[in-house]
Chain A
Amino acid sequence: MFYFFLRRLSVMVPTLLVISILIFVIIQLPPGDYLSTLISELQAQGEDVDQEKLNFLRQRYGLDRPVVEQYALWMKGIFMYGDFGYSFEHNLPVVDVVGDQVFLSIIIAFTTILFTWIVSFPIGVYSATHQYSAADHTLTFIGFLGLATPNFLLALILMYLANVYFGISIGGLMEPHFLDQPWSWDKAVSIAEHLWVPVIVIGTAGTATLIRRLRANLLDELQKPYVNTARAKGLSETRLLLKYPMRVALNPFIADIGNLLPQLLSSAAIVSVVLSLPTTGPLLLRALQSQDMYLAGFLLMCLSLLTVIGMFLSDLALAALDPRIRLTGIRQK
């Protein structure tokens, strides 16, 4: 177990290094840089640009240097000073830009995951145990409907209805006057009022997939002889279901934890953009669009780090929970 642990950890470092190179290269691939994007954006709005100032900035930010050199400087900053670079757009060190957003992203993602699980577990189990019943068909139909509806469209419609009928302000995660205020009970209530739209919107698709997977997994297990044996021995239906097939059917969910961690940060970027949520998704999108490369790089590095850690954790959890997984596989070869 310890070996396994160590090996997985040591693989993470080169993985992250390779990812960082990829990220940097891909961010640099589109033509131009932050400043040229800035110019065209200002000009498209009919504003004029100070050419001298731009040349000056280009020099200061080192945008006129070759990519390799820029990458080296970035890495040097991270390893030597813990400096992840500077956001051109916000005029701040990137670490300072990503603040509240992380917290709100985590709230949304966490609520959404909770919502998804609470809705889909009972439905999944029910439709597996009552396969092809009327209720199974109805629930499946609704699930597919959720899967097939484009998220952003649902978001727009719900947002409009919420505004017209409940008077909830359009977009955002709280009423405007709570923005940038210290935390208070009223602010939390306001967030709760606004939270349901994004949670439902982001959750619908996830719910449907989860239901389908749980149903399929369970059905597989329910056919197996050990279920019959247990039933023959007189185990009650509920106890039987929860204790054996359910446990096996859960394996894919544990393997999924690896994906959950990065989701906490990047939760549903498109929906967040449509709903104007102050989360990291839109921040990342903006940074990529305006080629604010250090900010984009920082966010992407965070996501990769979380993915790698998440994978590591789910491997550990699987190894611990599923007795069929042997850690010794490779060494036996």
Chain B
Amino acid sequence: MMTAVGRRGWNLSSIALSLVLALGTGGAARAGEATPKTYISPYYFGHSELSGTLPEVGQRLPKIPAVVRFAADQSPGRHGGTMRLLVGRERDTRLMVVYGYARLVRYDRNYQLVPDLLEKFEVEEGRIFTLHLRPGHRWSDGRPFTAQDFKYYWQDVALNPELSPGGPPRVLMVDGRKPVFEVLSETVVRYTWQKPNPHFLPALAGASPKFIYRPAHYLKRFHIKYADPARLKRATAKQRLHNWSALHSLKDNLYRFDNPDLPTLHPWRNTTRGPAQRFVFLRNPYYHRVDPDGRQLPYIDRVILRVSSPSLIAAKTSGGETDLQARSLAFNQYTFLKMGEKRGRYKVHLWRTARGAHLALYPNLNVADPVWRGLFWNAQFRRALSLGIDRHEINQVLYYGLGTEGNNSVLPGSALYDPSVRYRWARYDVKKANELLDGLGLTERNDRGLRLLPNGRPMEIIIESSGEHTEQTDILELVHDSWLKLGIKMFSRPSQREILRKRVLSGQAMMAIWGGLTAGIATPDVSPAELAPTNPYQFHWPRWGLWFSSLGKQGTPPALPAARRLLTLYRNWETATSQDQRARIWRRMLELHADQVLTLGLIAAIPQPVVIGATLRNVPEVAVYHWNPGAYFGIYSPDTFWIARGK
């Protein structure tokens, strides 16, 4: 049995992920620090504490609070202040769940899973998970956070046919079977599956996490099993909803964070009910983390989210209307933002991004045209296409040479990184590419020098894009020039996302351009689902992905041997019991992908501009901006960001 007690013990655990990113900071400081003896309450609550409306800080914190350990580039700060953020949509209130990043278990800056809301957790055989809550932990309304909240979720939400018609979420099911859920004590719960469940902990730590608990005391009043039927009916009618489950789902949205009445465990709680242009988040008096001196976190009292049209965000940023901004800012605005630094009183930093490819080409293996399908299914043809792309030129022309060239594969910094995989068939080599194409018998050419297809038509590839970014059109222009040297003419066809997707799925689109792997800094424990046909939104094999995700009801089973092999590997990964096994499978899949050139990666690691207000402290300058794992700012703990006094 492996035990993880606090952060320190966790290092010993063998399912820990041992990826250390070369962040330049040398990783987080790990020196053990004892729990502080006394706690310091933020000045913000001084009045409420004096008047007795709020208990004093010692009683608000759990018996054993989580003590933050600062990384080398962070330091203890002071309470107070307001942080302003700009968002593009009202729905973006959910970003406060992403940035707040209070999770049962979370990734630390080295992408290791550590307990956070939990005091500790134990994993046996990869299938028995025992979660220990912090005694005395409270929701933002002061009510205790206990095993009952887990029980409510499991019994009354996940297993309720009206609230969850599809049954419990997939990560809680292994081979279609439910776990055994037990409440061992008021603060200990256990989930036991028949077989290992590698998806469970990462799902809890995700940027958009699976919430396996609910504030039961609040939600019971909307649940048919507990509520007074007449009142429930009135409340439902008042919201113009048709049944109680709709009302329950409306109130119960821990992720979307749009219901100010719903208690939370995050550092800031929402106080604004939509529709609104401005959302005010105030500090959660019962937040469970403290700094080494015993100051209750978060440092910052208020976070204000302002809704603005996304296209104006860069301009507003340069006018100094935000304190922390990366959303809706893109690399091509870097110079503009840099120019505004003085006027807007901020600094721009470039963070690394971690997609396997910023953009990649997806030859549609399910294309309807039989001639093209024949070619796309041929690995030699795909290799020739990849060799014929001048990635270096793309990098220089569009990204000042700051990007990373190569395949759509994991990046340097990932434990799974292997340069030979990243660059296989990805170095510009027109001669070799032409030899490969000649070798396929595509030697006939027309009077314009274009190769002819077996049925006599000239070789013309149409690449479809979502038409949202001119950047894609620019890249395709460069691809067009280099493919012409192979005797292949390329056209780009901007359309619209939904239409593009339809055309790819129906086989009308030959090839699409889209972002690459999201798991660019994967660890062996991150699911390799993206590498196998598991999802209809994978543009190189949508019908095979549909087949898998619909459990064989729609789409067609994978026919290409490589795709079948990848699917088998993925299934093996799911049942693997050791990290070594999982790492081996990951490597095998990456290798297969690179060798078969199933997608054509173009360029990766395009820097993300991050704007940090002049007085905002503890935001790292060198970091990775990534959705999952990472939760954008989340793993850098925005609850430890603070605002320095000054102008």
B-contacting residues of A (Cβ < 8 Å)?
Answer: 30-32, 36-37, 39-41, 43-48, 50-52, 55-56, 59-60, 81, 83, 86, 89-93, 96-97, 99, 159-160, 163-164, 169-172, 176, 179-180, 273-276, 278, 282, 286
Please measure, in the bound complex, the distance between the C-alpha atom of A171 and the C-alpha atom of B164, giving whole angstroms. 42
B33 an interface residue at 8 Å Cβ cutoff?
Answer: no
Please measure, in the bound complex, the distance between the C-alpha atom of A32 and the C-alpha atom of B499, giving whole angstroms. 8
Main secondary structure of the interface of B (DSSP, over half): loop
- Given known pairs A46-B355, A180-B278, the reply for A40 and B501 (CB within 8 Å) is yes
B399 an interface residue at 8 Å Cβ cutoff?
Answer: no
Asked if residues A37 and B277 are in contact (CB atoms below 8 Å), the reply is no
Please measure, in the bound complex, the distance between the C-alpha atom of A282 and the C-alpha atom of B307, giving whole angstroms. 12
Subset of 30 A-B contacts with CB under 8 Å: A32-B501, A32-B502, A43-B537, A46-B355, A46-B626, A46-B627, A47-B627, A47-B628, A48-B206, A48-B208, A52-B170, A56-B166, A86-B241, A89-B91, A91-B274, A92-B275, A93-B239, A169-B316, A169-B319, A169-B321, A170-B316, A171-B309, A172-B277, A179-B276, A179-B277, A179-B278, A180-B278, A274-B311, A276-B308, A276-B309
- Given known pairs A31-B499, A179-B277, A179-B278, the reply for A59 and B628 (CB within 8 Å) is no
B553 an interface residue at 8 Å Cβ cutoff?
Answer: no
Asked if residues A83 and B240 are in contact (CB atoms below 8 Å), the reply is yes
Asked if residues A276 and B275 are in contact (CB atoms below 8 Å), the reply is no
Asked if residues B321 and A52 are in contact (CB atoms below 8 Å), the reply is no
- Given known pairs A52-B166, A90-B90, A282-B309, the reply for A163 and B319 (CB within 8 Å) is yes
Asked if residues A39 and B537 are in contact (CB atoms below 8 Å), the reply is yes
Could you say which residues of chain A place their CB within 8 Å of the CB of B502? 31-32
B228-286 interface with A by 8 A CB criterion: 239-241, 246, 249-250, 253, 256, 258, 272, 274-278
For A179, give the chain B residue with the smallest CB separation. Answer: B278
B73-88 to A contact mask, C-beta < 8 Å, 1/0: 0000000000010000
A-contacting residues of B (Cβ < 8 Å)?
Answer: 84, 89-91, 164-166, 169-170, 206-208, 239-241, 246, 249-250, 253, 256, 258, 272, 274-278, 304, 306, 308-309, 311-312, 315-316, 319, 321, 343, 355, 466, 468, 497-499, 501-502, 515, 518, 537, 549, 626-628
Asked if residues A90 and B239 are in contact (CB atoms below 8 Å), the reply is no
Number of A-B contacts (CB under 8 A): 119
For B355, give the chain A residue with the smallest CB separation. Answer: A46
Could you say which residues of chain B place their CB within 8 Å of the CB of A55? 166
Asked if residues A46 and B515 are in contact (CB atoms below 8 Å), the reply is yes
- Given known pairs A176-B278, A180-B272, the reply for A36 and B468 (CB within 8 Å) is no
Could you say which residues of chain A place their CB within 8 Å of the CB of B499? 30-31
Could you say which residues of chain B place their CB within 8 Å of the CB of A176? 84, 278, 304, 306, 321
Please measure, in the bound complex, the distance between the C-alpha atom of A254 and the C-alpha atom of B105, giving whole angstroms. 68
Asked if residues B537 and A278 are in contact (CB atoms below 8 Å), the reply is no
Residue of B169, B250, B256, B277 ringed by the most chain A CB atoms within 10 A: B277
- Given known pairs A170-B316, A282-B309, the reply for A56 and B90 (CB within 8 Å) is no
Asked if residues B164 and A170 are in contact (CB atoms below 8 Å), the reply is no
- From A50, A93, A159, A278, B277 is in contact (CB under 8 Å) with A278
For A46, give the chain B residue with the smallest CB separation. Answer: B627
Asked if residues B515 and A48 are in contact (CB atoms below 8 Å), the reply is no
Asked if residues B276 and A170 are in contact (CB atoms below 8 Å), the reply is no
Asked if residues B627 and A86 are in contact (CB atoms below 8 Å), the reply is no
Asked if residues B498 and A180 are in contact (CB atoms below 8 Å), the reply is no
Could you say which residues of chain B place their CB within 8 Å of the CB of A43? 537
Could you say which residues of chain B place their CB within 8 Å of the CB of A36? 498, 501
> Given A31-B498, A50-B169, A180-B272, 19 other A-B contacts at CB below 8 A?
A30-B498, A30-B499, A32-B501, A40-B466, A46-B627, A47-B208, A48-B208, A60-B249, A83-B240, A89-B90, A89-B91, A159-B315, A160-B315, A163-B319, A164-B343, A171-B308, A172-B277, A176-B84, A274-B311
Asked if residues A90 and B274 are in contact (CB atoms below 8 Å), the reply is yes
Please measure, in the bound complex, the distance between the C-alpha atom of A171 and the C-alpha atom of B317, giving whole angstroms. 12
Task: Report the minimal beta-carbon distance from A328 to chain B, rounded to whole angstroms.
Answer: 48
Task: Report the minimal beta-carbon distance from B497 to chain A, rounded to whole angstroms.
Answer: 4
Please measure, in the bound complex, the distance between the C-alpha atom of A39 and the C-alpha atom of B505, giving whole angstroms. 15
Could you say which residues of chain B place their CB within 8 Å of the CB of A37? 497-498
Please measure, in the bound complex, the distance between the C-alpha atom of A246 and the C-alpha atom of B626, giving whole angstroms. 66
Could you say which residues of chain B place their CB within 8 Å of the CB of A50? 169, 208
- Given known pairs A36-B498, A91-B258, A179-B278, the reply for A48 and B164 (CB within 8 Å) is no
Could you say which residues of chain B place their CB within 8 Å of the CB of A276? 308-309, 312
Asked if residues B312 and A171 are in contact (CB atoms below 8 Å), the reply is yes
Residue of B89, B164, B275 ringed by the most chain A CB atoms within 10 A: B275
Could you say which residues of chain B place their CB within 8 Å of the CB of A90? 90, 274-275
